[in-house]
Structure 1
Amino acid sequence: MSSYSDILKTPGVGRIIAAQLTARFPFGMLSLAFLLHIERQTGSYGAAGLVLAATSIGQAIAGPLTSRFMGVWGMRRVIVLTLVLCAGAVTAIGVIPMTVPAYMVVGFVAGLSMPPIQPAVRTIYPKMVNSRQLTPLFSLDATAQEMIWVIGPVVTTFVSTQIGTVWGILLAVAFLVGGGVWFVGSPELGRVRIPRSKQKLGAVLKKPPVLLATVVGFLLVGACAAVEAGVVAVFGHGGGEAGFVLAIFSIGSIAGGLTFGHLPIGPWALARRMLIVFVGTAAAAGAMSFWWLSVTLFIAGIGIAPALAVLFAIVSASVKFSDTAEAYGWVGTGQLIGAALGSAAAGFLIDGNGAGGAFWVAGVLAFAGFIVPALGRHWHPDLRGRDASPIPDTEAVAVQPS
C-alpha cells in the first residue's frame, strides 16, 4: 500500500487520475443505460444488444484512429471535437424515439466519437512518475477505474428504474461533458506532447505483446459485458438488485487490484489472473440467485484489475513513446469489439434460453482468455525487475566534422 501512497504524493498524479475517471465515468453507465432504455422501447434484449454492439463497433474503429490523431493535432483538439459529437449522439438516443436500425446508426456515431481519454492518460503516465513507480501506477489506475463500475451501474439502475431511462442516459451525458472539460483543462495535457509516429497505422500490432494484450483484452471485456447483460436479465427492471450485484463484481476487482496489482509481472502473470476470472464466471452459471451471483462474481472480479494492469504494463514496455497512444487505442479496440460481441451474444442467448445463457457466454470467453496467454507466454515480457516505461524515440544527431 505504501507504493500507492507514494505515487499519489507525486504532483499532479491524484488530479489527473480523478479527472480522467470522471471523464470516463459514463463508460460505466452507458452500456447499462442503453440496455435498459432500448429494451424498454423495443421489448427485446436482442435489439438492445444490437445497439450496444453498434456503439462498441464505432468505438473500436475510432480507437486507434483518434489515438493516432492526438500525435498529429494534439490531445486537447481531438478530445474536444469528439466530446461535442459524442454528447450530441448520446443525447439523441435518450430523447428521440427511433426504430432499432436508427438507434444502431446513432449508437455507432456515439461510439465513433467517444473521446480517447484512456489512450491519452496511459500516454501521460510515464511522463509523470519514475520508472519504478510506473507498474504500480498502472495497477492503481486499473483499480481506481473500477469505481466507475461500482458506482456507475448502481446509479444508472436506480435512476433508470425509479425515475426513467431517459434520465439515466442524460445523467451519463452530464458526466461525459463535465468530466471531459475537467480533463481537457488539466495542465498535464499541455505539458506532454505525443510525437508523430513514423510507422504506418496498425504496424504496432506486429509487436507480439501488443497483439497479446489486444486479444486478451477482447476476451476479458467480452466476458464482463456478457455478465452485465446476464445480471440485468436475471433481476429485470423491478429493483436495484442488478446494480448491486454488478457493484460487488467491481468491488472484487478493486480488492484484487489493491492486493495483487503491485506484484512483479512474469510470463505467467496474465494467465494466472485470467484463470481467476474464468473460475468465478463459470461458477456464476450454477444459480441465478442474488447471493450466489454476488459471491461468484466477487471471485471473478478479483482477477480483473490485476489483469488490466498487466495489459497496460506489457504494452508500455514494448513500444516506442510515439506509438503508445495508438497501441493503447488498439487494445481499447479489442476490448470494445469484445464488449460488442459479448453483449450481442448474451442478448440473443437471453432471448432464447433465459438469463443463464449469458453466463455461459461469459464462461467461454473467460476460459479462452486464460488459454491464450498461457499458450502465448513466450510473447509476454518478463517485467520482474525491469523498467516498464516506453522505449524512447531516438533520432540521428548531426555531428559537425572536426
Structure 2
Amino acid sequence: MSQSTSNHESRTSLADYRTALTTRAARRPAVASVLARLPIAMIGISALLYVQRETGSFAAAGLVSAGSLAGVSVGAVIQGRLIDRFGPTRPLLVVATLLALLMATLVTAIESHAPTAVLVALGAATGLSEPMVGSASRALWTRLLPPGGARNAAFSYEAISMEVFFILGPGVAGLLVMAPWAGTGLVLGVALQFTGAVLFALSPAVRAWGPAVSSRTSLLGALSSPGMRTLAVAALGFGIVIGFVEVAVPASATEAGHASVGGLLLSAWSLSSVAFGVLYSLSPWPRRLGLRLPVLLGAFGALVALLAWPSSLWGLALAMLVAGALITPQSTAHSAAIEVVAPEGTAAEAFGWVLTAVTLGLAMGQSVSGYVVEHAGPSTAFLVASVAGLVLAGVVWLLRGTMRPVTRPAASKVALTSV
C-alpha cells in the first residue's frame, strides 16, 4: 500500500454503492447482518431504561449498561481474533447460544430486584456474548470486493447502516419501555440479534470463510501497529462523548416531565448523521487520515457543548441534529483507517478493537454521566462530554504521524460474482 493510500481515501460514487450491494455472494450475509445489527443500540438503551424503571435510579441503570458495554468491548476483541483464526461460523453460533441463555438470566435478576452488583455482573456477561456480526460483516467485504471504490462504498454502507440502526434503536427502545412490561425491548432486541447472527453464520459466503492458514505470533495482534493504537484512542474519545449524551438526554427529558421522549430525542442526532454521512462519503475531508481523525473528533466534541444551552426539549433536539452530523463521518473514517494501519490477517480483530474502544468509551461516558447528572444536572454532563472529546482529539493530533500504512503481502485474488 502506498503512502498516498494512507493519506487519501478514494472518493466513492453512487455506482460504487450499487456494485457493492449487488454482489451476489454478499446478499444473504448482508440481509442477515441487518437483523443482527439492527438492535445493537436498542439493547443497550432498553437495558438502561428497563433497569431505571425497576430501580428508580439513573446511576444504577448507567452502571448496568456500562457493565454490558464493558463485556461487549472484551468480547469484540476475543471474537474478532477467533473469527480471523477459525472463520466466523463456529464462534458466532456459540456466542449466540450463550447470549440467549445469559439474557434470560439477566431479565430474571432484574425482575427479582437483585443487587446492583449482580445486575452489573450479568450485564457484563451478556455483553461479552453478543455476537460480533459487525466485525465479521466488515471483514467479509475485504474477501468479496477488491480494493477501490466499491470496497470503500461497502465500508461507508456499514457505517451509514449502523447510524440507521441508531436512529431506530433508541426510538423503539423508548417506546417499548412504555409497554405493559418494561423488558419488552430488551427481549425483542436479543431475539433479533440471535436470529441475525445464526443466519449470517450459516450463509454460504460466510461458511466458505475457513480457518486461517497460519496463526499470528504477536500477542498484541492488530494492536502491534502504532496506527491501530492511535485509531483506538480516537474511537475511545468518540464513544466517551456519545456515552455521556446517551445518559444526559433521557435525564433531560425526565427533568422536563417527558420521560418517554428520551429515546426519541436520541434518534434526532442520528437523522442528520445519516444524511450528512452519505454526502461525506462522496468527498471525505480532511483528505489525510492523520488529520481526519482528530479534526472530526474535536469538532464533534465542540458541537456537543451546544446541547448544554437549550432551555426546551425542542431546542435540545435541534442542537442534537447539528452535533449528530459528525457521527457517521467518524465511523467511516475509522473503517478507512483500518484498511491502512491494520496488520495483514487481522481484519476482524482490528474492527473488534475499534468496537472495543468505542464501547469502553460508551461505558466510561455512561457511568460518569449518570453520576454527573444526579449531582450537577444534564447540562453539566454535556459540557464534560465536550471537554473529554476535545482533550482526546488533542491526543490523537499529537499521534497523527503514526497513521502510516503497514507492510502487507500481495492480496490474494477473490472471485466476484455481481449482477
Provide TM-score, normalisation by structure 1: 0.90
Please report how far the alpha carbon of residue 259 of structure 1 lies from its aligned counterpart in structure 2 after TM superposition: 0.7
1:273-320 CA-partner distances (Å, limit 9, x unpaired): 223312321111112522222222122211111111111111122234
Aligned pairs for 1:335-354 within 5 A: 335-354=358-377
Please report how far the alpha carbon of residue 188 of structure 1 lies from its aligned counterpart in structure 2 after TM superposition: 1.8
* Equivalent residues of 1:268, 1:377 under 8 A apart: yes
Distance 1:394 1:379 in 2: 23
Please report how far the alpha carbon of residue 345 of structure 1 lies from its aligned counterpart in structure 2 after TM superposition: 0.4
Aligned partner of 1:5 in structure 2 is 18
Partner residue of 1:158 out of 175, 179, 197: 175
1:161-207 CA-partner distances (Å, limit 9, x unpaired): 24332112111122112222221222221222352432333243131
Distance 1:171 1:246 in 2: 19
Q: Does residue 92 in structure 1 map to residue 105 in structure 2? A: yes
Partner residue of 2:152 out of 135, 143, 146: 135
Distance 2:91 2:350 in 1: 17
Aligned pairs for 1:59-78 within 5 A: 59-78=72-91
Structure 2 residue identity aligned to 1:181: V
Aligned partner of 1:245 in structure 2 is 265
Aligned partner of 2:126 in structure 1 is 110
* Equivalent residues of 2:138, 2:158 under 8 A apart: no
Distance 1:15 1:282 in 2: 42
Please report how far the alpha carbon of residue 120 of structure 1 lies from its aligned counterpart in structure 2 after TM superposition: 1.1
Please report how far the alpha carbon of residue 95 of structure 1 lies from its aligned counterpart in structure 2 after TM superposition: 3.5
Aligned partner of 1:399 in structure 2 is none
Aligned partner of 1:306 in structure 2 is 329
Aligned pairs for 1:298-377 within 5 A: 298-377=321-400
Distance 1:334 1:374 in 2: 17
Percent of residue pairs identical: 25
Structure 1 residue identity aligned to 2:253: F
Distance 1:240 1:7 in 2: 39
Structure 2 residue identity aligned to 1:373: V
Aligned partner of 1:260 in structure 2 is 280
Distance 2:314 2:238 in 1: 23
Aligned partner of 1:400 in structure 2 is none
Distance 1:148 1:270 in 2: 23
* Equivalent residues of 1:34, 1:52 under 8 A apart: yes
Please report how far the alpha carbon of residue 394 of structure 1 lies from its aligned counterpart in structure 2 after TM superposition: 8.7
Aligned partner of 1:198 in structure 2 is 216
Aligned partner of 1:295 in structure 2 is 318
Provide TM-score, normalisation by structure 2: 0.86
Structure 2 residue identity aligned to 1:300: A
Partner of 1:317, secondary structure, is helix
Q: Show structure 2 runs of 5+ residues with no match.
A: 1-13, 413-419
* Equivalent residues of 2:273, 2:325 under 8 A apart: yes
Partner of 1:165, secondary structure, is coil
* Equivalent residues of 1:234, 1:288 under 8 A apart: no
Partner of 1:114, secondary structure, is coil
Aligned partner of 1:222 in structure 2 is 240
Distance 1:14 1:285 in 2: 43
Partner residue of 1:121 out of 109, 133, 137: 137
Partner residue of 1:46 out of 47, 59, 62: 59
Moved more, 213-222 or 322-331: 322-331
Distance 2:385 2:26 in 1: 34
Aligned partner of 1:279 in structure 2 is 302
Partner of 2:24, secondary structure, is coil
* Equivalent residues of 1:249, 1:301 under 8 A apart: yes
1:116-151 CA-partner distances (Å, limit 9, x unpaired): 212211211111122112222211210111111111
Aligned partner of 1:24 in structure 2 is 37
Distance 1:204 1:350 in 2: 37
Aligned partner of 1:172 in structure 2 is 189
Partner of 1:161, secondary structure, is coil
* Count of residues in correspondence between the two structures: 389
* Equivalent residues of 2:170, 2:267 under 8 A apart: yes
Distance 1:161 1:394 in 2: 51
